[in-house]
A and B are shown apart, each in its own frame.
Chain A
Amino acid sequence: MHGIQDALLEVENLRKEYPIERGLLRSEKGKVQALSGVSFQIREGEVVGLVGESGCGKTTLAKLILKLLLPTGGEVRYHGKNIFSLEGSDLKAVRRDIQMVFQDPFGSLDPRMKIKEIVGEPLLVHGIGTSRERYRNVITLLESVGLQELHGGRYPHEFSGGERQRIGIARSLALSPKLLVLDEPVSSLDLSIQAQILRLLLSLKKEKNLTYLFISHDLRVVSKVSDRVLVMYLGKIVESGPTEKIFSKPEHPYTHALLASQPQYIRERGFQGIPRGEIPSPANPPSGCRYRTRCPHAEKKCAEEEPLLLERTPHHFVACHFEL
């Protein structure tokens, strides 16, 4: 493991289960295993990319890191302190340092509030500055994302998707956070706008010394911004390592499958690498290695024993019984 002192954020064995309730009496009929023991670290100044498909738990992870949800088990440590055991002013202090940019530019802004109120709300909630100081702050924030003071007086529906996402980014920066969790920040935008927003995010990172956890299902986007990539499947991390390594020499069969499903790869190599079958439901994950139902190399051991996430080469972790 890397030096613990370096880590800005440490996630250890994080688990989240949801009970499935059925019938009039709402008796429990099973559990949805959204996250099943996820551990990783984020160092200051990094951009850590998180990729995965439906049911992998990436949005649940984002909500847990922001303490919008409580876990079933495990810890999230910010500067060494477990956020789930913090209360009151300690918690508020951490809340200021960790902020989130949301996916939906149309749903993440209150349609009945003016832009200046939306961007200034974090300051208001934390009692920062006088009304005039907050307003000045808001203007600076708007300008830093490429908007202007006059936009502050308008309502969300008057803006395009890309502009609304800029507003969302401005809001997330209001409290001068250290860590930004971005949950599919460009997935709802047109391709031409995506590039602009990505460039904005990268320049803001440099300017304000930020650290990013960048969550996306789109590998192309993740490849463009991340230093390191975590690959998730059905609530677990299956592979993690530096971006170049992951994309050029993936070691886990699922990472292989994700890359092989990219149209450019299909163009060059045909359909042979794409996985078969459906993604299992998180309510009923396969025993042992969760990927085994779609893995071309699965053997008996895979159904019996769950592979651990182990460091194969420096900084490159893989959870698989076999080496490919």
Chain B
Amino acid sequence: MSPLLEIQNLRISFGPLQVVDGVSLSLKEGEFFALVGESGSGKTLTALSVTRLLPPAATLESGKVFFQKTDLLTLSEEKLRSFRGGKVSYVFQEPSTSLNPVLTIGDQIVEAILLHGKTDKQSAHKEAVAMLEKVGIPSASTILEAYPHQLSGGMKQRAMIAMALVSHPMLLLLDEPTTALDVTIQAQILELLLQMKREMSLTIFFITHDLGLVSAVADRVAVMQKGKIVEEGNRDDVFSHPKHPYTEMLLQCMEFRTLS
């Protein structure tokens, strides 16, 4: 089966720095793929490059990004926009900055629905309620009228996930979605992601700095250091038989001094 997403030899520079240095990855349909790296490893730029969402200061030097059979990097801006939020959805780290503080949650989800589907406002509203319930937000119709600042971190992130899923994407990209959350809420969000993956047949591309975090949920893992992939493989293989010293070091940091 051909991969859903294939990144080939991606090279991105940020000013004088070569931040992504020849990265090649492929994601199979339906898998949970984790890209792990510390700050400055290039993982975020790699993820953003999938639909050319790079910041103005970053230069895409070379590489191909194939989504099914289309090279996204060569598409026109117009065609690319239909992918963004459509077949490929993003969830970012800080829900406080990704959500518009002056619009209600409902307005933002309905906007997302209307952008990518051909429905009217009424049906969009119903869909929004359904989606909020699906992601585990209680009293969804009340929450629709709420503003972002009235919700907790975990609730906001659930709302962000709902917004990303309304277009029924094939690929869901998440960049450090749980880093700002408390550990018990983080666990809830991970559970939600796995559940959504099952129910909506998603492929998940999960970016994080915490190797331990993905031990519970990933099918395959890739480790990035200074712009290059240093290790890649099935989760169990990487965790029990790491090949690269950097991976080993990250694994050691995961340890509890006393594990039962």
Q: Which of B81-89, B97-105, B213-221 contacts A (4 or more CB under 8 A)?
A: B213-221
Q: Mark A182-220, 1 if CB is under 8 A from B, else 0.
A: 000000001110110000000000000000000001111
B258 and A243 contact, CB distance less than 8 A: yes
Total contacting residues, chain B, CB less than 8 A: 35
Give complex CA distance A264, B258 in Å. Answer: 13
A54 and B182 contact, CB distance less than 8 A: yes
A190 and B257 contact, CB distance less than 8 A: no
The residue in chain A whose Cβ has the minimal distance to the Cβ of B151 is A278
Give complex CA distance A148, B198 in Å. Answer: 54
Minimum C-beta distance from A119 to chain B (A)? 25
Give complex CA distance A190, B214 in Å. Answer: 17
Give complex CA distance A274, B190 in Å. Answer: 11
A257 interfacial by beta-carbon distance below 8 Å: yes
B125 interfacial by beta-carbon distance below 8 Å: no
* Given A261-B186, A266-B190, A271-B187: A220 and B255 interface contact (C-beta under 8 Å): yes
B257 and A223 contact, CB distance less than 8 A: yes
Give complex CA distance A191, B223 in Å. Answer: 13
* Given A53-B184, A190-B39, A191-B250: A247 and B213 interface contact (C-beta under 8 Å): no
A26 interfacial by beta-carbon distance below 8 Å: no
B-chain residues with CB within 8 Å of residue A191 when the two chains form the complex = 38, 209-211, 250, 253
B-chain residues with CB within 8 Å of residue A266 when the two chains form the complex = 187, 190, 216-217
A274 and B188 contact, CB distance less than 8 A: yes
* Given A263-B216, A279-B182: A271 and B191 interface contact (C-beta under 8 Å): yes
B142 interfacial by beta-carbon distance below 8 Å: no
B2 interfacial by beta-carbon distance below 8 Å: no
Minimum C-beta distance from B213 to chain A (A)? 5
Lowest 6 CB-CB distances: which A-B pairs, in order?
A261-B187, A266-B216, A53-B182, A263-B216, A274-B187, A190-B38
CB under 8 Å from chain B, chain A span 255-301: 257-258, 260-264, 266-267, 271, 274-276, 278-279
Residues of A that sit less than 8 Å from B by CB: 53-54, 190-192, 194-195, 217-220, 223-224, 243-244, 247-248, 257-258, 260-264, 266-267, 271, 274-276, 278-279
B256 and A264 contact, CB distance less than 8 A: yes
Minimum C-beta distance from A50 to chain B (A)? 15
A257 and B184 contact, CB distance less than 8 A: yes
A-chain residues with CB within 8 Å of residue B249 when the two chains form the complex = 192, 195
Residues of B that sit less than 8 Å from A by CB: 38-39, 152-155, 182-188, 190-191, 209-217, 249-250, 252-260
A-chain residues with CB within 8 Å of residue B257 when the two chains form the complex = 223-224, 243, 247
Give complex CA distance A218, B181 in Å. Answer: 12
Give complex CA distance A220, B183 in Å. Answer: 12
Give complex CA distance A223, B259 in Å. Answer: 10
The residue from B185, B209, B253, B254 contacting A264, defined by CB atoms under 8 A apart:
B254
B184 and A274 contact, CB distance less than 8 A: yes
Give complex CA distance A261, B249 in Å. Answer: 23
* Given A192-B249, A247-B256: A278 and B183 interface contact (C-beta under 8 Å): no
Give complex CA distance A168, B158 in Å. Answer: 37
Give complex CA distance A53, B191 in Å. Answer: 19
A263 and B256 contact, CB distance less than 8 A: no
Give complex CA distance A218, B152 in Å. Answer: 20
B-chain residues with CB within 8 Å of residue A247 when the two chains form the complex = 256-260
Give complex CA distance A263, B216 in Å. Answer: 5
B-chain residues with CB within 8 Å of residue A53 when the two chains form the complex = 182-185
B215 and A263 contact, CB distance less than 8 A: yes
B155, B191, B211, B256 pick with most chain A CB within 10 angstroms: B256
Give complex CA distance A194, B38 in Å. Answer: 12
Give complex CA distance A260, B252 in Å. Answer: 20
Give complex CA distance A267, B217 in Å. Answer: 7
Minimum C-beta distance from B219 to chain A (A)? 13
Give complex CA distance A243, B212 in Å. Answer: 21
B-chain residues with CB within 8 Å of residue A195 when the two chains form the complex = 249, 252-253
A220 and B256 contact, CB distance less than 8 A: yes
A192 and B184 contact, CB distance less than 8 A: no
